[in-house]
Amino acid sequence: MTAFLLPRKKKTTAGDFGTIIEAGKADQFSLNSVTAFIRGKFYLCRLEDGGFLAVSRKCTHLGCTVPWSDKEKKFVCPCHSSAFDIKGEVISPPAPRALDVYHLYIENNILKVDTGKRTKRSSFNIDQVVYVKKAS
Amino acid sequence: MRREHNPSPKTTGFFHQILRSIFPDPLIPKSDQERRRYLFKNLILHFRPSTVPEKTLKFSLTWGLGGMAALLIILQFGTGLLLKFVYIPIPVSAYTSIQVLQNEVMFGQLIRNVHHWCANFLVLIVFLHMLRVFFTGAFHPPRQFSWIIGLGLFGLVLTANFTGYLLPYDQLAYWAVTISTGMLEYIPAIGNRLQEIIQGGNEIGPATLSIFFAIHTAVVPMGLIILMAFHFWRIRKSGGLVIPRSSEEEIEKKPVRVTTLPHLLLREVVVALVLIAVVMMVSVFFDVSLGDSANPGLSPNPTKAPWYFAGLQEILLHLHPLFSVFIIPLVLVVTLMGIPYLKYDTNTEGIWFASIKGRRMAMIAGLIAIVAAPMGILADEYLIGFAVGLSWIPNFFGNGLIPFAFIFCGCVGFYILIKHRYSATNNEAIQALFVFILVIFLILTVTGTWFRGPGMKLAWPWKL
């Protein structure tokens, strides 16, 4: 009977074809900017130091979609007014933890985001940021 | 006497015989004995008692609330059945099917309105019914378990409203349900799994809609039918309703009884007709709107819960989710279920507000809550900012445990104070505490419904 009640198994898993989104070349994104990827349900954030983060658009409080306010330089949730900074860190509650991040990597000089791999995190950590290696 | 109404077959025709086979008894009973018999033999009426204590007919005992709730549920079955023929439980088609219903189906909008307004009335009426039962002490033995079944019915009504909320699949529906199912995540240990089961996956989508449709149109109606039958049966077994009395009067052992037909039935029909008239008026004049089609990329600002969850939403704004979503509702439900099983000093069944003193205490408790609750909301909004001022301690404590402990101690302190101040029985003191919490919850509901603007900031209702 439980078979009727439980959710069907997902057909796609992390790393499969179809969950990876090519974001583009690193120099397409200016410093301290946020770009929305609607199909991938994430924001590509470029920090001031040039590092990249693929941040989930889903508020960690109750799952509303957080819009980026370029004027205030923060994400403000329209549902219960949680706020997050460009790194996804909580500025004001009720959100209990930082926005989730997606697996981001660089292949052939192109930023790619695996939307099948979402990681929960309690707060921002420098290890989460991906940097472009300087071409020497 | 029976022969009069059962003429020999010779004098009756074929169709008359068929009619008799369906209704073997006279359609219009003439004496009291016949009326009792009629009730007993009639398919629809036989679940009613043939006689009822005369004093329970008094309108100000019940305000007709239980009967109204039952009627509203029947209306929901009827209108729901019609809607089911037009509605398509698949995302996007769901939305367009409501458009078709409203624009192309004759009286489609009206039927949707009736279904919507009945659902809202139902929450209100069931809630008032619960208050009536509480304040007339109708939960004392032998009616303890009727209270528990009643709570179950209330739960089902809320479930029906909540699952029905998603079905139009507009922005309002989508985001309200995103938030409510988001709450499940905070239930310890099983939260994530539970959320996945109810959503049928990681987010609101086709699976969620089909699950909600199944709950709304099969699970809830079946549950309602079973629990309603159980509820009515318990009332019968408890000897009908509580008999109203003043605090000096003893509980009557052998009350004067009158026949249900016509005394009770007539009153019920009048209440039913008035209620139907009100529902129809509201449905004719106030159309239910259909917002924009659901858009997972855009949460509207503000995204508000329906009014019956606005109190809960208000708690969500102030406290850490573990407390607002799990601990406080759990404490409330357990307390409500415990009400009939506490050890009371006296049996106050049938006495409004337990006694004259109880009434005065209830009023004072209500007044304190009316002053305290808005002050608390304003203080949390503008002054304290638990989470900000106490940022050196974890959110869980600063925004959760400490305020919760504060509220809890406040309630216990209130109980002890008012019990000693009035040297009251525990019936009266528990009632005062109930009123205190009730009024706070009502104020939270009003605040959440009318005083929250964009960004969930406090705002005046006329500026929303």
What ipTM was estimated for this complex? 0.79
DSSP string, B398-423: IIIIHHHHHHHHHHHHHHHHHHHHTT
Using DSSP, state whether A36 is helix, strand or coil: strand
Interface contact flag, A64 B200, Cβ < 8 Å? no
Considering only CA atoms, which of B164, B208, B168 is closest in space to residue B184?
A: B208
Which tokens sit at B111? Answer: 């039927």
Instruction: Please say whether the structural domain A19-123 has been given the CATH code 1.10.3300.10.
Output: no
- Chain B residues within an 8 Å CB radius of A41: 296-297
Minimal C-alpha gap between B114 and chain A (Å): 29
DSSP string, B91-121: TTHHHHHHHHHHHTSTTHHHHHHHHHHHHHH
Q: How far apart are the first and last CA of chain A?
A: 61
Which tokens sit at B18? Answer: 């068929």
C-alpha pair distances (Å), B167 with each of A42, B51, B242? 27, 43, 40
pLDDT of A136 over the 50 cut: no
Query: How many interface pairs between A and B have CB atoms less than 8 angstroms apart?
Result: 79
How do the pLDDT tens digits run along chain B, 464 residues long? 444 555 555 556 888 888 888 877 777 788 888 888 887 777 777 778 888 898 888 888 889 999 999 999 999 999 999 999 999 999 889 999 999 999 999 999 999 999 999 999 999 999 999 999 999 999 998 899 999 999 999 999 999 999 999 999 988 889 888 888 888 888 888 888 888 888 888 778 888 999 999 999 999 999 999 999 999 999 988 888 988 888 888 888 888 888 888 889 999 999 999 999 999 999 999 998 888 888 887 888 777 888 898 888 888 877 888 888 889 999 999 999 999 999 998 888 888 998 889 999 999 999 999 998 988 888 877 765 554 555 556 667 767 788 888 888 989 999 999 888 888 888 999 999 999 999 999 999 999 888 888 767 788 877 76
Which tokens sit at B128? Answer: 């008032």
Interface contact flag, A79 B181, Cβ < 8 Å? no
Q: Are B160 and B228 in contact (CB under 8 A)?
A: no
Can you list the domains of chain B with their CATH numbers? Answer: 2-47 (no CATH), 48-300 (1.20.810.10), 310-464 (no CATH)
Which residues, 6 or more positions from B454, have their beta carbon under 8 angstroms from its beta carbon? Answer: A78, B301, B302
Cα–Cα distance measured from residue B170 to residue A17, given in angstroms and rounded to the nearest whole number: 32
Closest Cβ opposite residue A78 in set B201, B301, B321: B301
- Chain B residues within an 8 Å CB radius of A79: 175, 179, 299, 302-303, 456
Query: What angle, rounded to 10 degrees, do the helices at B144-166 and B171-184 form?
Result: 130
Which residues, 6 or more positions from B59, have their beta carbon under 8 angstroms from its beta carbon? Answer: B267
pLDDT at res. B103: 92
Tokens 């926005």 locate to A99
C-alpha pair distances (Å), B424 with each of B342, B361, B362, B421? 16, 9, 12, 8
Q: Are B82 and B111 in contact (CB under 8 A)?
A: yes
Interface contact flag, B395 A78, Cβ < 8 Å? no
Within 10 Å of residue A119's Cβ, how many Cβ atoms?
10
B196 → chain A, closest CA residue = A7
A64 → chain B, closest CA residue = B299
Residues in chain B: 464
Q: How far apart are the first and last CA of chain B?
A: 70
Interface contact flag, A7 B387, Cβ < 8 Å? no
Domain layout of chain A by residue ranges: 19-123
Burial class (CB in 10 A: 0-12, 13-18, 19+), B249: exposed
**pLDDT tens digits for A9-21?**
665 555 555 677 7
The B residues from 401 to 460 touching A (CB cutoff 8 Å) are: 454-457
Q: Are B127 and B307 in contact (CB under 8 A)?
A: no
| B201 vs A: CB within 8 A | yes
Q: Are A9 and A3 in contact (CB under 8 A)?
A: no
